[in-house]
Chain A
Amino acid sequence: MTAAPQALLSVRDLTMTFPGRRSATGRRGAPVRAVDGVSFDLGEGETLGLVGESGCGKSTTGRMLVRLLEPTAGSVEFDGRDISRLSQGALRPLRRHIQMVFQDPHSSLNPRQTVARIVSDPLLVQGWTAADARRRAAELMELVGLIPEHIDRYPHEFSGGQAQRIGIARSLATSPRLIVADEPVSALDVSVQAQIVNLMERLRRELGLAYVFIAHDLSVVKRVSDRVAVMYLGRIVEIGEKHLLYDDPQHPYTRALLSAVPLPDPAAERRRERIVLLGDPPSPAAPPPGCTFHPRCPKVQEICRTERPLLRVAASREVACHFPGD
């Protein structure tokens, strides 16, 4: 791992184990390791895309980065300081630097609060006066492309795309340096998604934000990211610069994932060679031994069934595979 000297965020061996679910008889199932030793660095103003299918641990990772969840092991260093074990009190002054944007704008905004209240709330927590916070909220509305005069309206008076702009305005209130966005466009209509993607890119340029952009849509992630990490069953299987990763994927899972995305181009679709994986992703409660991808891997060898591959450098990025490339 080549740690940049001035990494804004430095994540090491991040792990989250949830206790097994209690059944009707009160017995606990096996613990679930949702995230298993995730490490990466993120520079100031950089965007890392985190992709993977449901249950791969990408959202859990995001929640640990903003400390909505306390990791069971590993560390999250923000600006050189480990925030993964800080008490809530010690965390508060740091919270203003790290904010989150959620998937469903309507369910992440309190329906009984006006936009003014929603957007200025983080500022009041940080000790701003009500008048200053309101003024700042109006500025933020303008910044995210909403009409400042609508500040006393309620969330239901806005469309899905506008509500997501409110969620983004709230996340920007405290002038954060890092935003963790968990599927910020996937609940929106196709024609509205591009508006929000463009907004997030503009804000990043104007404000120098760093993003961890979590999504299952590989096309959106390619658009917004500088680097991309592909997760499978709680682990990063490939991480690298986006063009390297998309143009020449090295992990068989990355390849399969990319080839499965339907292209909006019938001619290209017909020419394409598709790798169709068998079966579903296995449950993180009972991960397969060795490489967790081996039961679905088209090029599985004997060693894959027994020995877990670690991330190592191959073709200018990191890959966790015994046989990267062809």
Chain B
Amino acid sequence: MTALLEVRDLRVTFTTPRGSVRAVDSLGFTVGAGRTLGIVGESGSGKSVTSLAVMGLHRGAEIGGSVALDGRELTGLSERELSRLRGRKMAMIFQDPLSSLHPYYTVGEQIAEHFRVHFKAGRSAARKRAVDMLGEVGIPEPARRAGEYPHQFSGGMRQRAMIAMALACEPDLLIADEPTTALDVTVQAQILELIARLQQDRGLGVVLITHDLGVVARVAHEVLVMYGGRAAEQAPVEQLFAEPAHPYTRGLLDSLPRLDDADDAPLRAIPGSPPSLLTPAPGCAFAPRCPEAAARCTGERPELQPYGEGPARTVACHFAGAGAPAEVTR
């Protein structure tokens, strides 16, 4: 069985006045139909650049490696071919819904346009399907709200409208880049529930990009942790949280204040801050902040290698896996 989305050895390079920047390097992952991959990382980890590269929206960047959707190679496609796939086969939602909703058109018109473009639907048929779609994402009185403009919607409603627009033409893959970061926590809960329901109903593959480990724990099946433009580790969600293999993942989990935490000891913070991509380290990008770093870590970059039993887990750390001193101390 081929995966819905298969990314191999992805490299994204930007040319800047201060030199070329490799924002993503040697990245690989797969997403199956009906599965959610959570990509976790901090600012500069390359998680958003990855999603834009998959969609072919990386303006001005140089792409290497392979991105295959349903077995079809996307790198090297013309803009014309890509725009036929975007919306129809794969769609994307963003943190800020106003970035994808046009202020001059009603919400209904904007959704209807997708049917008209991709399915050559007539005006009234397209409008009817737009209203149905708004209803499906939980917007009350969809027929009336379809005639309103984005500024008349609340933040949560705009996010629903953007999801309606993204899913209008029944794509197979949905990429969600921090879809709930700007929302209040009670509204975030609604939107996460909505994405999960639509995924179940439609067998969607979802890539969810976030900095919030709680969100990942709630909705993801598999997790990819990124640091400094590369994969630090990949694992099924239960295994990642129960037994994190990379010191960075362990550090992140340890540094979180938790609601279900009774003790009031100081948080175990990770010293320093995320690395700059302008001056990449020759060794492991996490080495300067890693409590377990040895001489080898600053000189030699660790490759992704299998971890534990089964093919599901990989980790990029010299001291994870075979006979390493990486005793899990959680």
- A is bound by B: yes
* A contacts, CB < 8 Å to B: 53-54, 159-162, 189-195, 197-198, 201-202, 216, 218-220, 222-223, 246, 256-269, 274, 276-281
- For chain B, give the interface size range: 35 or more
Q: Which residues of B contact A197 (CB under 8 A)?
A: 257, 267, 269
Docked complex: B1-51 residues within 8 A CB-CB of A: 42-43
Q: Which residues of B contact A189 (CB under 8 A)?
A: 42-43, 211, 273-274
Whether B214 contacts A261 by the Cβ 8 Å rule is yes
Whether B259 contacts A194 by the Cβ 8 Å rule is no
For residue B188, CB closer than 8 A to chain A, the reply is: yes
For residue B255, CB closer than 8 A to chain A, the reply is: yes
Q: Which residues of A contact B289 (CB under 8 A)?
A: 191
Tell me how far the C-beta of B195 lies from the nearest C-beta in chain A, rounded to whole angstroms.
13
Report how far A190 CA is from B40 CA in the complex, Å.
11
Q: Which residues of A contact B258 (CB under 8 A)?
A: 219, 263-264
Whether A223 contacts B238 by the Cβ 8 Å rule is no
Whether B269 contacts A195 by the Cβ 8 Å rule is yes
Tell me how far the C-beta of A255 lies from the nearest C-beta in chain B, rounded to whole angstroms.
11
* B contacts, CB < 8 Å to A: 42-43, 154-157, 184-190, 192-193, 211-218, 237-238, 241-242, 251-253, 255-261, 264, 266-271, 273-274, 289
Tell me how far the C-beta of A170 lies from the nearest C-beta in chain B, rounded to whole angstroms.
20
Tell me how far the C-beta of B199 lies from the nearest C-beta in chain A, rounded to whole angstroms.
16
A280-B185 CB under 8 A given contacts A219-B256, A262-B218, A267-B238: no
Report how far A174 CA is from B16 CA in the complex, Å.
43
Tell me how far the C-beta of B46 lies from the nearest C-beta in chain A, rounded to whole angstroms.
14
Which of B190, B256, B274 sits near A194, CB closer than 8 Å? B256
Report how far A263 CA is from B253 CA in the complex, Å.
11
Whether B211 contacts A190 by the Cβ 8 Å rule is yes
Tell me how far the C-beta of B142 lies from the nearest C-beta in chain A, rounded to whole angstroms.
15
Which of A220, A274, A279 sits near B189, CB closer than 8 Å? A274
Q: Which residues of A contact B188 (CB under 8 A)?
A: 260, 262
Report how far A92 CA is from B221 CA in the complex, Å.
57
A265-B260 CB under 8 A given contacts A194-B269, A260-B186: yes
A296 to chain B: closest residue by CB: B186
Tell me how far the C-beta of B105 lies from the nearest C-beta in chain A, rounded to whole angstroms.
20
Whether A201 contacts B266 by the Cβ 8 Å rule is yes
Report how far A246 CA is from B262 CA in the complex, Å.
11
CB-CB nearest 7 A-B residue pairs? A262-B214, A194-B269, A53-B184, A194-B255, A223-B257, A194-B267, A260-B189
Tell me how far the C-beta of B257 lies from the nearest C-beta in chain A, rounded to whole angstroms.
4
Report how far A278 CA is from B215 CA in the complex, Å.
19
Whether B259 contacts A190 by the Cβ 8 Å rule is no
A158 to chain B: closest residue by CB: B273
A260-B185 CB under 8 A given contacts A194-B268, A219-B259: yes
Q: Which residues of B contact A268 (CB under 8 A)?
A: 217, 260
Whether A218 contacts B255 by the Cβ 8 Å rule is no
A198-B266 CB under 8 A given contacts A191-B251, A257-B185, A281-B184: yes
Identify whether the interface residues of A are mostly helix, strand, loop, or mixed: helix
Which of B212, B216, B242, B270 sits near A191, CB closer than 8 Å? B270
Tell me how far the C-beta of B145 lies from the nearest C-beta in chain A, rounded to whole angstroms.
13
Whether B255 contacts A190 by the Cβ 8 Å rule is yes
Tell me how far the C-beta of A245 lies from the nearest C-beta in chain B, rounded to whole angstroms.
12
Q: Which residues of A contact B237 (CB under 8 A)?
A: 266
A247 to chain B: closest residue by CB: B262
A267 to chain B: closest residue by CB: B238
Q: A201-B266, A219-B259, A264-B217 are in contact. List 8 more A-B contacts (CB 8 A).
A: A53-B184, A54-B184, A191-B252, A194-B255, A198-B266, A220-B257, A262-B192, A262-B212
B184 to chain A: closest residue by CB: A53
Whether A194 contacts B257 by the Cβ 8 Å rule is yes
Whether A222 contacts B43 by the Cβ 8 Å rule is no
Which of B154, B217, B268 sits near A262, CB closer than 8 Å? B217
Enumerate 12 A-B pairs (CB-CB under 8 Å) in ascending A order.
A189-B273, A190-B252, A197-B257, A198-B266, A218-B259, A261-B185, A262-B188, A262-B217, A263-B217, A265-B241, A267-B242, A276-B189
B270 to chain A: closest residue by CB: A191
Whether B259 contacts A191 by the Cβ 8 Å rule is no
Q: Which residues of B contact A218 (CB under 8 A)?
A: 185, 259
A223 to chain B: closest residue by CB: B257
Tell me how far the C-beta of B194 lies from the nearest C-beta in chain A, rounded to whole angstroms.
10
B276 to chain A: closest residue by CB: A159
Report how far A219 CA is from B257 CA in the complex, Å.
6
Q: Which of B237, B242, B259, B273 has the most CB of A within 10 A?
A: B259
Q: Which residues of A contact B184 (CB under 8 A)?
A: 53-54, 216, 280-281
B187 to chain A: closest residue by CB: A280
Tell me how far the C-beta of A229 lies from the nearest C-beta in chain B, rounded to whole angstroms.
17
Report how far A162 CA is from B211 CA in the complex, Å.
20
Report how far A263 CA is from B258 CA in the complex, Å.
7
Report how far A161 CA is from B211 CA in the complex, Å.
16
Q: Which residues of B contact A192 (CB under 8 A)?
A: 269-270, 273
Tell me how far the C-beta of B2 lies from the nearest C-beta in chain A, rounded to whole angstroms.
27
A193 to chain B: closest residue by CB: B255
Whether A266 contacts B241 by the Cβ 8 Å rule is yes
Report how far A277 CA is from B253 CA in the complex, Å.
28
Whether B273 contacts A159 by the Cβ 8 Å rule is yes
Whether B260 contacts A263 by the Cβ 8 Å rule is yes
B40 to chain A: closest residue by CB: A190
Whether A264 contacts B256 by the Cβ 8 Å rule is yes
A189 to chain B: closest residue by CB: B42
Q: Which residues of B contact A195 (CB under 8 A)?
A: 269-271
Report how far A162 CA is from B270 CA in the complex, Å.
14
Whether A191 contacts B266 by the Cβ 8 Å rule is no
